[in-house]
């Protein structure tokens, strides 16, 4: 894929994509804090909650593939990204508002699908800007995930300590997402910027892609366990108050931000293979 946008258009787009990630992860960070509240409200067991997380992952995987290979070539990432933010903000509020375990489970797939639209668009915009400017921008892009989640955990913990109604909080977060998405649609350049060089076909990955994909899957599964389950463990098993349920996520995100901010310099000094293997071994220990 080739971008035909000038640099003066790409520079604002990179900030649009970063704030889109931060806002969506801010919403998710709040959700991490209030997961124990919702599970208790609808009477959901931990086992069934695990199945629901699996549905979220399946929805995200299919969405990312469809977004990369079908939606972005037709609509362009600059137009699709704000639509994804709006859709995600609305759907996650509807998800949090469900009153039964069945509707909660059914809403999981569209939540995952809407979230899966956002990341591919933001990555393509970031890579476009990297190629146009010669700057290394992806590390800060990835750091935005941790920054948004960290802010969300702090906000969620604060409002939980005040016994603020969760639905009111998520309604305000939904309005924030809608407002941001509409602002991007109105003021940003959303013309078609991506032209596919060839037709895409879905297929089973092979070679290095399959191996590196498996390694990435194991790594992301570990991260998912920390982010999705730590609030439950700390509140249900250890007995912390709901407002403190996000302290594990706070610690994780804080360390992750430092690693991502300085990761590029470490890679430049010690090499990709050395950092990739040693960092993963250190993390496992």
Architecture of domain 2-284: Up-down Bundle (1.20)
| pLDDT score recorded for residue 268 | 75
Q: Measure the CA–CA gap between 91 and 236, rounded to whole angstroms.
A: 27
Across residues 191-196, what is the average pLDDT? 48
Structure tokens at 225: 């366990």
> Would you list the domain boundaries of the chain?
2-284
Global pTM?
Answer: 0.79
| pLDDT score recorded for residue 57 | 81
Reported as a pLDDT band with limits 50, 70 and 90, residue 201 is low
Which comes out higher in pLDDT, residue 202 or 23? 23
Neighbours of 268 (CB within 10 A): 11
Neighbours of 24 (CB within 10 A): 28
pLDDT digits (tens, 9 = 90+) for 172-183: 999 999 999 999
Which comes out higher in pLDDT, residue 199 or 240? 240
Q: Measure the CA–CA gap between 270 and 86, rounded to whole angstroms.
A: 41
Reported as a pLDDT band with limits 50, 70 and 90, residue 194 is very low
């Amino acid at each position: 894929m080739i971008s035909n946008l000038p640099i003066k258009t790409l520079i604002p787009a990179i900030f649009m994509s970063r704030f889109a990630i931060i806002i969506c992860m801010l919403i998710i960070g709040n959700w991490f804090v209030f997961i124990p509240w919702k599970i208790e409200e609808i009477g959901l067991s931990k086992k069934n909650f695990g199945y629901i997380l699996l549905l979220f992952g399946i929805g995200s995987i299919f969405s990312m593939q469809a977004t990369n290979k079908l939606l972005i070539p037709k609509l362009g990432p600059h137009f699709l990204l704000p639509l994804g933010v709006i859709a995600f903000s609305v759907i996650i509020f509807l998800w949090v508002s469900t009153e039964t375990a069945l509707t909660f489970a059914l809403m999981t797939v569209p939540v995952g699908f809407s979230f899966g639209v956002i990341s591919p668009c933001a990555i393509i915009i970031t890579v476009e800007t990297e190629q146009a400017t010669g700057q290394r921008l992806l590390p800060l892009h990835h750091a935005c995930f941790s920054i948004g989640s960290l802010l969300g955990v702090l906000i969620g913990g604060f409002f939980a300590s005040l016994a603020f109604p969760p639905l009111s909080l998520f309604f305000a977060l939904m309005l924030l997402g809608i407002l941001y998405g509409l602002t991007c649609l109105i003021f940003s350049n959303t013309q078609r910027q991506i032209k596919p060089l060839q037709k895409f076909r879905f297929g089973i990955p092979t070679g290095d892609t399959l191996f590196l994909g498996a390694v990435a899957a194991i790594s992301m599964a570990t991260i998912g366990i920390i982010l999705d389950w730590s609030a439950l463990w700390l509140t249900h098993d250890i007995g912390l108050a709901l407002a403190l349920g996000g302290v594990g996520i706070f610690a994780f995100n804080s360390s992750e931000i430092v690693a991502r901010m300085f990761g590029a310099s470490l890679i430049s000094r010690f090499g990709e293979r050395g950092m990739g293997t040693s960092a993963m071994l250190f993390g496992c220990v």
